[in-house]
Chains A and B, each alone.
Chain A
Amino acid sequence: MNISPDLPQLDPMRLQVRKDALVNEISTKPFRRWWRFAVPATALVAAVVTTLVLWTPTNPNAYASWTAEPRAPGADTEAAIADCREMLGEHHTTMPNAPATPTEVSVVDQRGSMTLVLFTGPEAQMECLHTPDGHGLAGSGTAKGFEPLGDELFRSFGASLHSQRDGSKPVRILSGMVSPKVGKVLIGTKDGLKVTATIGKGWILAWWPSREDATLVTLYDHAGNVLGTEPLPSR
C-alpha cells in the first residue's frame, strides 16, 4: 500500500481567506480588532473569496447616521476617495494566483458620515469603508476573472456581514453588477428595510445597519418602471 498518495493542494484562494482570518484574529492593533469579518468560510461561493483588511469606524455616529437613501456627494467625497486609494495602494498579498487588486472607482455611496467606495477590476472588487475617524477594506475576487453580465440585469454574490468583535453594530454591505438598462435598485432585507443602492459604471453599492441579509432586489428602469425582481444569495 502506498501510504503517501498524491493529494491536491488547498486552493490558494481558500488559503488566503484562512490567512486573512488568522492575521485579523491575532492582530493586536485596536482598529483591526474593532470589527470582525463574520461570513462563515463555508458560505463562500467557490472561486470567490473575501479578503479583508479589517477596520471600521470608531465613530458611533457613522452607524447611527445611516439613511435608506444615499446622499449626494459632498465636500468630503474627494478626500474620502483619496484616503481609500492610499489604503488600497498599501494592500498587497504574496499569495500565488491572488486576484489583481482593483483600481477603478466605480461607485461612491454616502449615507450619514459613512462613505463607501467600490473599486472594481477584471478579477476583483474592493469596498473601502470611510468615516472621519478611520477606514478599512473588504473585498472579493477570483483569479479566473469576473464573467461579463451579458443579458442579465443584475448579479451579486450576496451581502457580506461585519460587526464589532462582540457582535454588536452589525453591518451588511452589498455590491453587485448591474445592466445599463437599470436606473434604480431597491434592496429588501429580512427585517423589512428598503435600501436604495447607489449605481455607477455598471455596479451597485449599499450598506445597512443590520445583521439581517438582503432577500430581494427590485430593479427599475430609468423612467421608474419596474423591470423585475431578483432573489439574492444568502452569505
Chain B
Amino acid sequence: MADEELRGQVRAGNGEAFGRLFERHAQAVFAYCLRRTGTWAVAEDLVSVVFMETWRKRTSVVVEGSLLPWLYSVALGVTRNHQRSRTRYKAALGKVPPHHADDDHADDVARRVDAEARTRAVIAELEKLPAGDREVLEMSAWSDLSQAQIAELLGIPVGTVKSRLARAQRTVRGALVEEAL
C-alpha cells in the first residue's frame, strides 16, 4: 500500500496505518537523527518525537507522494531543538560522562559506540560550516531528496540550495585534503 493511501487512513485516525508508516520510514529517520546528534539513545528518542509530531499534524498538513521528505523536515526541526537545548546546558552536560548502553550485549555496545564515534567526528567537522550551509549539505548527503525538495522543506529558493551546497562541499573537501596531509 502506498504512503498516500496509508496517510488517508491516518488522517481518519487509523493508528494501525500509522504504525505501518512508522515501520516503513523509522530506520531512515533514525539514521538522519543519529547523524545529526551523534548519540544513539537520543536519536532513538527523537524518532518517536518525529512521528508523534507527524501524527499531531496529520489533519493540518497535506503531503503529496512519499511521506519521507515531510519526516525529514520534522526531524530537522526536532534535532535543531535538541541541539539548542543541548547548547543551553552544554556546560553541565560536559561534565556528564558519555552514555554507554550497559544494559545491552557487548557486541551491540561496541557497534553503537563505534557508530557514535564516527558520527561525532563528522558532526565536529560539519559544525565548522555556517548553519544554513550545513543543513543543506546534510539533507543532500543523508536523504534521497532532490534539490527542489530540499529547497521546499527548508523554505529557500533552489538557487540558494545550490550555492550553499557548493560552498559547503568546498569546505568539506578542504577538510579531506587536510586529513590526507
Contacts and interface: CB of A to CB of B under 8 A. Distances in A.
Q: Is the contact region of chain B dominated by helix, strand, or loop, or is it mixed?
A: helix
A44 B41 CA distance: 14
Interface residues of A, number: 31
Interface in A21-67: 21-23, 25-29, 41-47
A14 interface: yes
B103 A46 contact: yes
Contacts of A5: 118-119, 122
B175 interface: yes
Contact of B19 (A19, A28, A43): A19
B103 A7 contact: no
A45 B103 CA distance: 6
B103 A42 contact: yes
Contacts of B16: 23
A223 interface: no
B30 A9 contact: yes
A34 to B, nearest CB: 15
Nearest to B26: A15
B29 to A, nearest CB: 10
A46 B111 CA distance: 14
A87 B173 CA distance: 57
A20 B121 CA distance: 33
A26 B48 contact: no
B30 A10 contact: yes
B115 interface: yes
Nearest to A21: B48
A46 B105 contact: yes
B175 A1 contact: yes
B55 interface: yes
Given A14-B44, A46-B105, A1 B30 contact: no
The 6 nearest A-B residue pairs measured at CB: A46-B104, A5-B118, A23-B19, A27-B15, A23-B15, A46-B105
Interface of B: 13, 15-16, 18-20, 22-23, 26-27, 30-31, 34-35, 41, 44, 47-48, 51-52, 55, 103-105, 108, 111-112, 115, 118-119, 121-122, 125-126, 137-138, 141-142, 172, 175-176, 179
Given A22-B51, A46-B104, 9 more contacts: A1-B122, A1-B176, A3-B126, A9-B27, A10-B30, A15-B23, A19-B19, A41-B44, A94-B23
18 contacts: A1-B121, A3-B122, A3-B126, A5-B118, A5-B122, A9-B27, A19-B23, A22-B19, A22-B51, A23-B19, A23-B22, A25-B52, A27-B15, A28-B13, A28-B15, A43-B103, A46-B103, A46-B104
